[in-house]
Amino acid sequence: MPEYKVEVKNLDLFYGDFQALKKINFTAEPNTVSAFIGPSGCGKSTLLRMFNRMNDLIDGVRFTGEIYIDGKDVFAKSVDVDGLRKSVGMVFQKPNPFPKTIFENVAYGLRVNGVNDKHFIEKQVIEAIKKAALWDEVKDKLKKSAMELSGGQQQRLCIARTLAVEPALILMDEPASALDPISTGKIEDLIFELKNQYTIIIVTHNLQQAGRISDYTAFFYLGELVEWNKTKIIFTNPSDIRTQNYITGRFG
């Protein structure tokens, strides 16, 4: 299993005339969880979408700067974007399972990447569902529609779907914000488990969540990466007054 280090260098990004990211420099070490925090519109989700080039799908996005994943330039002309997205998994705010069976949801990433071996697919699917801590709840209904699952189960299914293609970096965009506290707890436990094998970057609005699950925290404000450091330091002894104001709830 490759261990992906993620590096962002001097990234500027514009939506039309609006500068959404300003000179971002950031590094995520392998097998760590980094949390992106900051008020809405600060650019944290935009940065997240750069890692798997989801911003390619949005009109009018311009950027300069570099992102390296595992030492490879994400924006190099030679990069196969679909291949990149396979190695960089993404989990979204709202659970978005496909209207297919539970099994087919998890098998989807393998199938679109050309895997046909039935036994291999079955093995990967079962393994991924187990890793996503969903197996006990769905093992008897793999052929049932994913739409019958609860929101929290759907989100774990989406995580399983991502794990099945064996990414090394997983991006999560507020993965628990649409879930109840119990489901949120399960997702957080899961993230904690997963960091043994993956590099994880998570965007969250929930500061307690960032404090609970992340090793590093990056605080964004108005397109700037104000500071990033070990989570413990950010939450106990931030060096920038804006960070301190944000985590103590004075704005945002």
Should residue 85 be labelled a site residue for other proteins when binding is judged by CB under 8 A?
yes
Residue 79 CA to residue 16 CA, distance in Å, equals 25
Among 44, 161, 186, 242, binds other proteins (CB under 8 A): 161
Of 86-94, 136-144, 194-202, 234-242, the segment contacting other proteins by CB under 8 A is 86-94
Residue 163: φ, ψ to 5°: -70, -30
Residue with tokens 């404000």: 221
**Residue 198 beta carbon to other proteins: minimum distance, rounded to whole angstroms:** 15
The single residue among 123, 147, 189, 250 that binds other proteins, judged by CB under 8 A, is: 147
Closer to other proteins at the Cβ: 145 or 244? 145
C-beta of residue 190 within 8 angstroms of C-beta of residue 156: yes
8 A C-beta contact, residue 5 and residue 31: no
Both structure tokens of 238 = 């931030």
Confirm or reject binding of residue 89 to other proteins (CB under 8 A): yes
CB of 181 to other proteins, least distance (A): 22
- Under rule CB under 8 A, which residues in 39-78 are in contact with other proteins? 52, 54, 57, 59
Does position 17 interact with other proteins (CB under 8 A)? The reply is no
Amino acid letter, residue 188: E
Does residue 82 touch other proteins according to CB under 8 A? yes
Residue 145 binds to other proteins (criterion: CB under 8 A)? yes
Query: Please, where are the H alpha helices in the chain?
Result: 44-51, 81-87, 102-112, 118-131, 135-138, 151-164, 181-194, 207-213, 231-236, 241-247
Residue 113 in the binding site for other proteins (CB under 8 A): yes
Task: Provide the minimum distance between the beta carbon of 244 and other proteins in the complex, in angstroms, as a whole number.
Answer: 35
DSSP string for 63-86:
EEEEEEETTEETT-TT--HHHHHH
Based on the shown chain and the rule CB under 8 A, indicate whether residue 131 belongs to the binding site for other proteins: no
Q: Quote the least distance from Cβ 100 to other proteins, whole Å.
A: 8
Size of the site for other proteins (CB under 8 A): 29
Are 155 and 75 within 8 A, CB to CB?
Answer: no
Which residues in this chain contact other proteins in the complex, by CB under 8 A?
52, 54, 57, 59, 82-86, 89-90, 92, 94, 96-100, 108-109, 111-113, 145, 147, 158, 161-162, 165
